[in-house]
Amino acid sequence: MPFCVIKSRTIKIFLCMIAVVVMLAISYNGFASAEVWFGKSTRLVPIYRVDTQEKQVAISFDAAWGADKTQEILDVLAEYDVTATFFLVGFWVDKYPEMVKAIDDAGIEIGTHSNTHPDMAKLDKATITSELTTSMDKIKSITGKDVKVFRPPYGSYSNTLINVCEQLELYPIQWDVDTLDWKGLSASAVCDRVMKNVQNGSIVLMHNNADNVVDSLRLCLDWLKMKGYRVTSVGELIYTDGYNIDPNGVQHKN
């Protein structure tokens, strides 16, 4: 009987060890769980925020569907004498080329938001490259300028995506302040989210066709200016050389 008890315990311990090994080998966001849990993840990350002592933030607008509020956004930006970044999807560029030109003519930075708005983390290298280069070429054909920044649709990315961005000399950009304006929040609710979460070097996410985007932009700019923040484009905010990005996506100057 004692032998059976010992054997039973040994078997249980052995099975538990196997279970742990299997769990640590399971992919977690594309990487072995062991790498994540033991702090050895080799995952690459985009820029979520910039580490800076300056009171400077970037406001960005994703544009995939609709354009009827875009000119009003440009008018507000001009009224407050600030700039921003528009991330445009390729099929939006196809549908609204005159707005692409208006954005560029207003001195506002234009980045790519892919060509067809797919989940980029699910794509292979060749498809990712096509998505990016096709959209970049469409934008450049209108503005005559190279595209330097990219925001992945749904905020979804992979090592492959970031490596392709590096090869194309694109800076992959996320955000650390999500206004959730696409949910139809009131202007005051959107501004409240900015007030509660913004800090030096923040990147604010908005959408060009959100229900209350024009009014919320005004409220946000009023508050940011009152607090002494300088509002810029993403390209002006980020470091373009001599930098590193920590595991939380914060870009630091070397």
Give me the pLDDT at residue 17, please.
55
pLDDT one-digit tens code per residue, 185-200: 999 999 999 999 999 9
| Contact criterion met (CB below 8 Å) for 23 and 48 | no
pLDDT one-digit tens code per residue, 94-112: 999 999 999 999 999 999 9
Is residue 9 pLDDT above 70, yes or no?
Answer: no
157 closest CA partner among 171, 146, 139: 171
Give me the pLDDT at residue 15, please.
59
pLDDT one-digit tens code per residue, 122-161: 999 999 999 999 999 999 999 999 999 999 999 999 999 9
Helix (H), strand (E) at residue 36 = helix 33-37
**Average pLDDT score over the chain:** 89
Give me the pLDDT at residue 10, please.
58
Distance (Å, whole) CA 12 – CA 6: 10
- Quick count: other Cβ atoms within 10 Å of Cβ 95? 14
Handedness of CA 95, 97, 98, 103 (dihedral sign): positive
Give me the pLDDT at residue 29, please.
35
Give me the pLDDT at residue 235, please.
98
Q: How far apart are the first and last CA of the chain?
A: 66
pLDDT one-digit tens code per residue, 207-229: 999 999 999 999 999 999 999 99
Give me the pLDDT at residue 160, please.
98
Give me the pLDDT at residue 42, please.
83
Residues 38-62: b if buried by 16+ CB within 10 A, e if exposed: eeebeebbbbbbbebeeebbbbbbb
Provide the β-strand partners of residue 59.
204
Mean pLDDT, range 20-26, rounded to an integer: 41
Distance (Å, whole) CA 24 – CA 76: 51
Give me the pLDDT at residue 23, please.
43
Distance (Å, whole) CA 15 – CA 10: 9
